[in-house]
Amino acid sequence: MVRKKVLTEDGSHTRFHPHYQEHYHSLSGARNEAIQRFVVPCRVIEKAKDAGVVRILDVGFGLGVNVAVTLEEIRRQVPHARCIWVSLEKELLPIADLQEHWGEGKVSEELCQLVSDLSYDGEFWGGRIVVGDARDSVRRLKGPFDAIYLDPFSPSRNPEMWSIGVMRALWEVCEEGGILSTYSSAAKARLALMAAGWEIGLGPRVGRKSSGTVASRGSVDPPLLTLEEKQRRSLERRLNEETGINGCDPPSPPDGISSP
């Protein structure tokens, strides 16, 4: 299946997926989106500095831009830290199509090995790609993860990835105080996160897209940026009407999900 390459505003490229009818990244800039949408709100650099290691789950490897940019930023800002990385991906593109999105240098070479072998273990970082339906893959993961990049196609195009069951499975493998970030501000996404036990907040605005959503397992310091009060009340009312959950206490794991 051919995916058209598209130049974004920061000079990096993304692609258009003909089945989902969406671009992999914001047209304001693929690399800029990786930093502003995931690295910064997930507090990856802070965690690497504090703990010397940061564990990241990437739901939607896609073109590999998120992992490439994250590794470059950690290596640049916290060269003594180590990164543990797991990516979930339904359909992995050929290396030849992916490599041009990573630039040149050490990280690109390492990612080539990751994609070729589906695993990589080096001095600076180690990781693997799990290929298949992420709804099944996430249930087999062993956490915990400090940060989760939730980056599938949108709830309207890829609704199965935004269910309460998936969000609860992600909650299960997240470290207490860990942070999830996604570009989506859709009510469906936020309601599923809340129903699964996540505390949600307002994500950053990237380019012309609306603010995304951040979520934490438990409280974090500094706290997440809160949603507008009217918007939060509306979500809590809908959550109570649709699920009977008050949005405070994590529910029992649905779909047979158990703790790792």
Q: How confident is the model at residue 23 (pLDDT cuts 50, 70, 90)?
A: low
What's the pLDDT at 26? Answer: 65
Q: Which of 42-51, 103-112, 217-226, 238-247 has the lowest mean pLDDT?
A: 238-247
What's the pLDDT at 258? Answer: 32
Q: Which of 43-52, 157-166, 206-215 has the lowest mean pLDDT?
A: 206-215
What's the pLDDT at 255? Answer: 41
Average pLDDT over residues 227-242: 90
pLDDT (tens digit per residue) in 121-160? 999 999 999 999 999 999 999 889 999 999 987 777 778 9
What's the pLDDT at 205? Answer: 84
Cα 47 to Cα 42, 51, 52: the distances in Å are 9, 6, 7
Average pLDDT over residues 227-249: 78
* Token pair belonging to 96: 């030849």
pLDDT (tens digit per residue) in 243-255? 765 444 444 444 4
What's the pLDDT at 213? Answer: 96
Put simply, whether the predicted model's pTM sits higher than 0.85 gets the answer yes
Mean pLDDT, the chain, whole residue set: 87
Q: How confident is the model at residue 28 (pLDDT cuts 50, 70, 90)?
A: low
Q: Which domains does the chain have, with CATH numbers?
A: 29-243 (3.40.50.150)
pLDDT (tens digit per residue) in 186-197? 999 999 999 999
What DSSP designation does 138 have? G
Q: Which of 14-23, 50-59, 162-171 has the lowest mean pLDDT?
A: 14-23
What's the pLDDT at 244? Answer: 61
* CA–CA distance, 260 with 139 (Å, rounded to integer): 9
Cα 191 to Cα 163, 198, 213, 220, 231: the distances in Å are 9, 10, 11, 20, 12
Comparing CA positions, the residue from 214, 199, 196, 182 lying closest to residue 257 is 196
Q: Residue 240 above 50 pLDDT?
A: yes
Q: Residue 16 above 80 pLDDT?
A: no
Cα 143 to Cα 71, 90, 153, 155, 259: the distances in Å are 20, 20, 24, 25, 9
* Contact partners, residue 79, CB within 8 Å, separation at least 6: none
* CA–CA distance, 175 with 55 (Å, rounded to integer): 9
What's the pLDDT at 22? Answer: 65
Q: How confident is the model at residue 18 (pLDDT cuts 50, 70, 90)?
A: low
Average pLDDT over residues 160-178: 96
Comparing CA positions, the residue from 33, 86, 82, 32 lying closest to residue 60 is 86
